[in-house]
Structures are given as structure tokens and as C-alpha cells.
Structure 1
Amino acid sequence: MLQHETLASWMTDIDDKRKAWQVPGCAMAAIQGTDVIFCEGFGHLQKEAVKRVSPQTLFPIASATKPFTALGLAMLAEDGLLDFDTPIQAYWPEFRLYDAVATNRTTVRDLLCHRTGLPRHDLIWYHTPFSRAELMERLRYLEPVKDFRAAYHYQNLMFTAAGCVIEQVSGRTWEQFTKDRILKPLGMESTYFTLADAKKAGALAWPYMSQEKQVVEVPYLNNEAIGPAGSMISTIEDMTKWLLYQLNPQAITHAHLLSERRHDELRTPQLFSGSQPAWYPEIPITNAALGWFVQIYRGERVIYHAGNLQGFSSLVSILPERQCAIVVLSQVDNSRLPAVLTYEAVDRLLGIEQIDWHARMTEEAEKEERAKLVKSSRAECKQGSVLRSSCIGTYRHPGYGEVSISAADDNYYMSFHDLRFLLSPIEANRFLASYEETYQLEIPITFHTDHTGTAVSLSAKMEPTIGAKEIIFTRV
């Protein structure tokens, strides 16, 4: 255990880093063996507010939800109700993907390690009006960019499908199953699945995003439709219970949720994920496991999962051989603060020379900002190309749903879900649809006309992954 003076210095350092990254509030915990070294809140729930973040403050944990879904499936496998390598259609006959091979052969293992070949297609669920069941129905209309099992592609929709397998096999909703079989046995009584329940239950941190080097408040995002992929909301205090279980899964107090063999299987690398920047020599390799990622950091195995959601960032990390774990819950989407605090915490806990991750990632963030300015597609926009009134109307794709083109105040707009994009001309029949209220989204679109010049369809680059085809919306 660290000395009191050392711990006090560490707490000061965490708060200094929080301020440097312009994060209004965060919470962090570190564990060694069965001891919680610290579990603290830093900053405030809201900018310039009085109420401080505490160990009981609620934060959306975003994709750090995924290991809970993976654990639930492993528990059903332990019960003999499913097998990770049996095609999903054996449990869920209605499951369909774009091609017959993937439809017939996709297994739980494929879903949990992101190897179906389907790119993210996150816009289909962002601000979606669709239910979880409707999203799953629409999977069959989304084209892959790689052959089945040929490559890693991080996927929220496929993890949502993994949660639906739990529902098909257990006869309970994913939420109820996770609460009954995981949260209750671990004593995680302050963890929720919906914003409504979290707001009623206690102090919920406010969402913030970085825009033009400023941190601004944004609306909460309801992502319950993809719940198994990222809807859980928890406290740093509850997350220490999750980490204590991860470090000591066979302890009597954990009621043997899972056998050691299956627990280890979830942490076994399945394929190279290529998710770590190559300029970090301390992290030579990162792999996707089952609901987790596995990397080598300075010679040590680290099991981890990050989470990013509109307004929030999180990072859960476990070093099983060293019996230590760290969790950071934070405001500000896509913030590097959780990674900075985590890697520097690992260095402290291992008693090795400190790397200045704060300086490294600050430089990385600055390079990223400069690259955005250089690559901005806005430079392509031209004057003189005018959108014809014949393009105004509604267009539909069986997976993505509807987009509408309208005119107002001498401008043209594209509406998708409840997002409104401004249309700027690029060249004849080509426009850039831009949205800036939260994320900065830029989608090139092209109108396709018949012999009379009337638009009959539009194609839009809804999925930015290299190799992903444009989505064709047909006029209705």
C-alpha cells in the first residue's frame, strides 16, 4: 500500500491533470488485491457549479458495458444453454445479416470479438427512433466491408445483437438478466440501464464535449436501443465492486459467478485489433478478446475496455498478474484524460519509472487538431452549384430509414432521425451535409436524377470506414 503522503500527492496530481484537460469532473479508483487504495471524485458535476463529484456520482460508462454483456453470455454457456461456437440462428432463428454465409455461421464468439466484417454504421442508432428489435431487423440491409471473420471491425450493433441472444436464451430482457445475475450478486446497487432511472436515483454528472478547444455542455444521449453495447450508468464506488470481482473471480463473496476456465476464456485474445497507435513503444500489441481488449504495456498484460458516449469517457483496466486494477469515469466525450490517468497509475502501482503520458497525449491531441484543419472537406465546397427544388422530398433506405430534403431561409437542409444537416455545394448534384450541434459530422451526398432532371435517389457516405459503400436512399 502507498504511504499517506504519496497518496495525497497522487490525488493532487489527478486533479491537476483533470483541470489541464478541461474536464469539469471525473472519478477514479485503484485496487490492489482485495484492497481499494482509493475511490475518489474530482471536480464538479457541472461547470461552475457547487456540487462536487463524489464516489456516489453517476456516470454513463458507455462501452465499458460490453464486458457485462460478455459475462452474461458466458454464464449462460456455463448453464449449458448456449455454446460460443454454435451459430446464433440455433438460438435466434430470425437473426439475419446482409449475406447468407454470415447469417448462417455467425456465433457468439464472432459478436464478442468484432469479426463479422460489418463496419460500425453508428449513425443508424445515433438519435434513433427505432427500438432495439427494429435495429436488429435492419441489420440485413447493412453491407460488410470485409469477408466474414477476415478482419476486426469494432461494432456496437453486433454487441446489441449479443444482448439479444441473452434475451432469446434466458427469456428475460438483457437489462433484467444483467441485474439479476451480475449486479445483485456483486452488490452493485447503484448501477442503472436508463437515463430516466439514473436521474431519479442520484446525482448524475453532466455531459460535455470539446468544440474548437472549448468544453461545452451538450444534451444527454439516450442510447438505450443499443443497451447491451453501452447504456449502463454507474458510480465509481459500484465499479470498484466490479473490479474486485475481476481480480478475485473465485472468491467466496462472489458466489462463483463463473468458472475459472470460462473467466479466462473471456480474456483470451481472438484476433489482432490494430487499435493502438504505433508510436507507443511500450504497447507493442493490442488484441480483441471476448468483450475485452488485451494489450501488453511495458511487459505486463492489461485487460481493458474504454467507453465513449456523447458527453462522457471511461476506462476500465485490469492487470491480473499484478493483482491491480484501475477505473476512471469522466465527463467530456473522447477525452484522453482516462488514458492519461490510467497509464500513469499503472506506472505508480508497478513502482517503475513514470512516463509523462500527459505530455505525450497533449502533443497527440494537438497533432490531431491540426490534421482536422488540413483535411476538412469544407475546402471542397464551391459557389454556384444550386440544389434544384426537384430534389426536395423524402428518401428511404431499408436499413437507415428516411432522410428528408427541405428548404428554409435561403438554405437547403437534410434531416435524418432528429438531426438537421446544412447542405453546401461541392459540384453539380453533389453536396456536403454538415452537422455541428454535438459531433462534427460531414457527409458527402449525391443526387441522382432521371431524364427530366428530377431527383429519384440520393447516395450518402453514412459510414466513413474505408471500403464502405455509400447508402442509397430512394425517393418515396
Structure 2
Amino acid sequence: MRFARDLLLSGLVSLAVFPSAASAQDLADGAVEAALPKLEAYAEGLVENGEVPGMAVAVVHKDRIVYLWGFGVREEGKDAPVDPDTVFQVASLSKAVSATVVAALVSEGRVSWDSRIADIDPEFQLSEAYPSAQLTVTDLFSHRSGLPGDAGNELEGLGYPRDEVLRRLRLVAPASSFRSAYSYSNFGLTEGAVAAARAADLGWEAAGERKLFGPLGMTATSYRHDDFVAHENRATLHVRQNGKWQALSVREPDAQAPAGGISSTAGDLAEWMRLVLSGGDFDGDRLIDEAAMDAMHVPLMTRGTHPVNGSSSFYGRGWNVEYGRRGIVWGHAGAFSNGARSVASLMPEYDLGIVVLANAFPTGAPEAVAATFYDLVFDGAPQSDWLAPWNALYASMFGPEVEAAKETYGTPPADPSPALAAAAYVGTYANDYLGDAVVAEEGEGLVLKLGPDGAKQFPLVHFDRDLFLYKPLDEMPDFPVAAVFRIGPDGKAQTLTLEDLDDLGMGTLDRKAP
């Protein structure tokens, strides 16, 4: 058995003061301790069976880190092991941590959860005047602003910096009326966080360090990708290709750092769970006002019935809030399609929480570990094979899309119409949202250049007449998407539509005059 430093130094640990929102209940004597060896065996088995290359797990109970360990390797094919100090990219688990940073700012009185963005960051605008004037930090942290879920994601992928992504959100038509529906938005939450920090005269990254990471001793945690890559002991991202886990790409999420940019260790996040479960107390000191903390877990937007565990699911301020057969669960998951997975699951009524970090996608291993752990604690044995449904859920996120693309574009037409001469397509195309797209002739083919200064470059492969294919995702090398030119009366392309950037109806760019 491997136990954390807090258990070994238990005489130095202060007891938590439990939040009023969820008074702690007693578990059966020794239930958590008895579950830990079985939890470890289960996690080891997942790694040995190839479900993930590497994983780290921490468990907190009654204000102590009672379990902390790593499994597997940081990078497939190499020997360096995952250990308690291995740094992972945690993706959208960042949202719950960022909500805690904002709670700290709220606690100081420099901003409130209901502060209007127009008052604290007046440069930010939505596409309509009324929501822009009334939008609050809470609206953005609960995903009820009306912004479509993907808004800004494609701009980040093209390399635009945070300020420019947030500025261009005003060009996006709403997916719903203001405050009427839940739409999970990375850059909506990012704006809420950045605006809250600005109200306290701080940049976001500094706010995280000063208000949370520093006070809790989370020395390996950062919102900066450069800090992540500076760690030698870091987990590489993996995707499954040809039946094997492979490290194919990197992910630099600085633009959406509050929503998905944290890198951390299981041990650091265990300290954060201690703070959350204690309602803002840490080692006997009141760090964050209890009311500011409690506000994170007020259910604001319904998410329906959970597809795997059947719980009634809601979203609060940066947190999922679920009501299941064992009571309230606070949590959040994270995923990067190019190779990261994470989950934190807290049961405040029992002062119990688990965090699981993994270096692969798609995999439901983190959720399976958490669900199995709770079965072991409450029932003494697993009550279900949780891995299968979670794996199926994550595989469904991209599998059908990839298969549809392969079916449509995987086989060239038997008798394709030839392309026009390269000069018909070469040129610069643009719209206000995506910016410039340059089509250039290089060697014997065409290249598409996107993003600031054309930094993202993709060879165009002819498919049929004025339709070309390119592969924008390094982690999905067999996933083709279409670039479609519309030819004008002069025999030259007048518009270019990029299929993978058209989810918001903004993927068509007009040729710019020379």
C-alpha cells in the first residue's frame, strides 16, 4: 500500500470545518481504508491491460490525503514511470479549479458572482446588446450565456491568442436566448474568469498563483503551458492508433487556460479537494469565505439524466452537481482529444473525494476508477463493470465523425473531374471570424495556410473538381475534411468553405482583392 504524506504525518493535520451545504456523514468504520488496496489493484489492472499508458490517483477523506500513487508510464515505449509528482494536463477539470480561484476573489469583495461583465470588462461583447449589458460572471461559469459550445475553440486551434479569440466572440450568433439553455462553452467560462481577475487588478495566471496555488502549496500547478513543459516529470499525451497508444501531438491550451489549461499533479489536486470539502478552510485557516465556496455547487442549469450512472445532473458555477443513489456528488471531468483525461469526484456529505489523471484519449478509465472506488467504499465490492459504458461514451464523441469522414472521403471517386489550373485557386480568402486563409502553390501541389501569419499549414489533396481534402488534426491522421472552392465567372475561385471550421456557419471565406 502507498499512502500520502498527510497520512504518515497525521499528527500534523488539522480537522476540517465542514460546509453548511453538506454536513459530513459517517461511513462504516474502516470502509475507506479497506477500499484502498482494492482500488490500487483495480487501477494497476487497467494499466496492465492497456486501458491507459499512465495514471495517477489521489483520495481525500476527512481532510487527509489517504492515498496517492502513480501507475504505468509517462510515455508509451519509454521506461519513466508515473509517480505522485508526475504533472498531467487536466483539460476541463480546470473549470472547477478556476471556479475556486474566482470564489477566492469573491471572498475578498473585489468582485461578486453576479458582477456584470459590462462593468468589469466592458470591452467584451456578445452579438446582441441586451445579453452583453446583463451578462454576469455566473452566466459564463454556468454556461447559460447563449454562446454556442464550440465558439472560439477553432480560433484557438488556429493559433489566435486569448484576447483575439474573446474579441471575435461578438461575431457569433447565439445558440439560444440568454439564460434559457445550457451550452458548454470553453471561451465563455474563460471570459468570466479573466473578467473576475481583472476586477481584482490581476491577470488570470497571477490570480491562480496568488489566490489558490500558493496558499495551498500546489507548487507543480500552473495555467501556463511553458511551466508544464519545463517539468521533466510530465505525462505525454496519447491517442490510440492502429490498436496502440501513441504520442502524436502536443496541446497548448493557454488561450483557454481557465477552462482547460491547468497542468498539475494528483497530490496538488488532492490539496485543492481538501479545501473544497472543508468549505474554504485549509489547515485550520479560513482561506475563502464559505458562502463564496457554496455558490459553486448551487445547481443552476439542468443537464438531464446522466447517461452512465442515471443520476440527475446539473451544472453550477464551474462544477457538475449530481444527485444519485448515494447522495450529492460534486465533480468535473476533462479531456483533450489528442490525449488527456481527468476526473475529480467529491462526495461532500461524506467528506470524501477522488481525483484520477490519465495521459490518453479516448478512455473512460478515470471515471471507472472513481465509480469503482465508491462501490468499494459503500458496498465492499464493484457493483458494475463501469469501464465498458464509460469507454463507449468517450469513443462515441469522435468515432462516428471519423467513420463518416472515411466513408465520404476515404475512397476517391472512380472517375473524378479534374481540378482547374492551380492559378484558379491560389489567393487569399478571409472573413472577420477566421481571418485569412492563404492558398499557395508549393512544389507540385497546393497548401492551405491558416491562423496568424499562416502558421498552420496543410497540404491540399485533390478529390473531385473543386473539392480538396486536408487533415487538420495531428492526432487523427486518417480524418480528412473538405476544402471546397466556388468558382466565379472569371474562372477563379470566389469563396473557400472549410468543412471542419463551419460548425457555426462561419467557415466560408471570400477571396480578397489583390
TM-score, normalised via structure 2 length? 0.83
Alignment CA distance shift 1:363-1:473 (3 Å): closer
Higher mean C-alpha deviation, range 394-403 or range 238-247: 394-403
Alignment CA distance shift 1:364-1:304 (3 Å): closer
Q: How does 1:296-307 map to 2 (within 5 A)?
A: 296-307=323-334
Where does residue 347 of structure 1 map in the other structure?
375
Aligned sequence identity (%): 24
Where does residue 213 of structure 2 map in the other structure?
183
Where does residue 435 of structure 1 map in the other structure?
472
Residues 72 and 166 in structure 1, CA contact (< 8 A), matched pair in contact too: no
Matched, 1:458 2:509: no
Residues 205 and 224 in structure 2, CA contact (< 8 A), matched pair in contact too: no
Unaligned runs of 5+ in 2: 1-29
CA-atom RMSD in angstroms: 2.7
Matched, 1:24 2:53: yes
Where does residue 110 of structure 2 map in the other structure?
81
Residues 142 and 317 in structure 2, CA contact (< 8 A), matched pair in contact too: yes
Residues 227-285 of structure 1: CA deviation (Å, up to 9, x unaligned): 111211111111110111111124352632322222121111111235842xx3x3232
Residues 307 and 314 in structure 1, CA contact (< 8 A), matched pair in contact too: yes
Where does residue 287 of structure 2 map in the other structure?
257
Query: 1:301 corresponds to which letter in structure 2?
Result: I
Matched, 1:67 2:101: no
CA distance in 2, matches of 1:365, 1:224: 24
Alignment CA distance shift 1:201-1:435 (3 Å): closer
Unaligned runs of 5+ in 1: none
Higher mean C-alpha deviation, range 199-208 or range 26-35: 199-208
Where does residue 404 of structure 2 map in the other structure?
375
Matched, 1:472 2:502: no
Alignment CA distance shift 1:3-1:116 (3 Å): closer
CA distance in 1, matches of 2:318, 2:198: 19
Query: 1:147 corresponds to which letter in structure 2?
Result: S
Alignment CA distance shift 1:164-1:251 (3 Å): closer
Residues 430-449 of structure 1: CA deviation (Å, up to 9, x unaligned): 44443342146554443233
CA distance in 1, matches of 2:397, 2:184: 21
Query: 1:306 corresponds to which letter in structure 2?
Result: A
CA distance in 2, matches of 1:461, 1:143: 18
CA distance in 1, matches of 2:253, 2:397: 27
Residues 281 and 287 in structure 2, CA contact (< 8 A), matched pair in contact too: no
Alignment CA distance shift 1:428-1:287 (3 Å): farther
Give the superposition deviation at 1:43: 0.8
Residues 140 and 399 in structure 1, CA contact (< 8 A), matched pair in contact too: no
Residues 422 and 435 in structure 1, CA contact (< 8 A), matched pair in contact too: no
Residues 461 and 470 in structure 1, CA contact (< 8 A), matched pair in contact too: no
Alignment CA distance shift 1:5-1:150 (3 Å): closer
CA distance in 1, matches of 2:467, 2:506: 13
Query: 1:136 corresponds to which letter in structure 2?
Result: L
Where does residue 384 of structure 1 map in the other structure?
416
Q: How does 1:176-215 map to 2 (within 5 A)?
A: 176-215=206-245
Residues 365 and 391 in structure 2, CA contact (< 8 A), matched pair in contact too: no
Alignment CA distance shift 1:4-1:177 (3 Å): closer
Give the superposition deviation at 1:371: 4.1
Give the superposition deviation at 1:141: 2.0
Higher mean C-alpha deviation, range 313-322 or range 65-74: 65-74
CA distance in 2, matches of 1:202, 1:370: 33
Give the superposition deviation at 1:75: 2.8
Residues 333-364 of structure 1: CA deviation (Å, up to 9, x unaligned): 33211111111112112226521112334555
Give the superposition deviation at 1:216: 0.8
Residues 409-454 of structure 1: CA deviation (Å, up to 9, x unaligned): 6554433334444545676644444334214655444323332232
CA distance in 2, matches of 1:298, 1:139: 40
Alignment CA distance shift 1:145-1:414 (3 Å): farther
Residues 69 and 162 in structure 1, CA contact (< 8 A), matched pair in contact too: no
Alignment CA distance shift 1:263-1:25 (3 Å): same
Matched, 1:449 2:480: no
Give the superposition deviation at 1:331: 0.4
Residues 462 and 470 in structure 1, CA contact (< 8 A), matched pair in contact too: no
CA distance in 2, matches of 1:379, 1:203: 42
Where does residue 125 of structure 1 map in the other structure?
156
Alignment CA distance shift 1:393-1:181 (3 Å): same
Query: 2:505 corresponds to which letter in structure 1?
Result: K
CA distance in 2, matches of 1:344, 1:253: 29
Give the superposition deviation at 1:214: 2.3
Give the superposition deviation at 1:327: 0.3
Where does residue 102 of structure 1 map in the other structure?
131
Residues 105 and 211 in structure 2, CA contact (< 8 A), matched pair in contact too: no
Alignment CA distance shift 1:311-1:368 (3 Å): closer
CA distance in 2, matches of 1:436, 1:419: 11
Give the superposition deviation at 1:159: 1.9
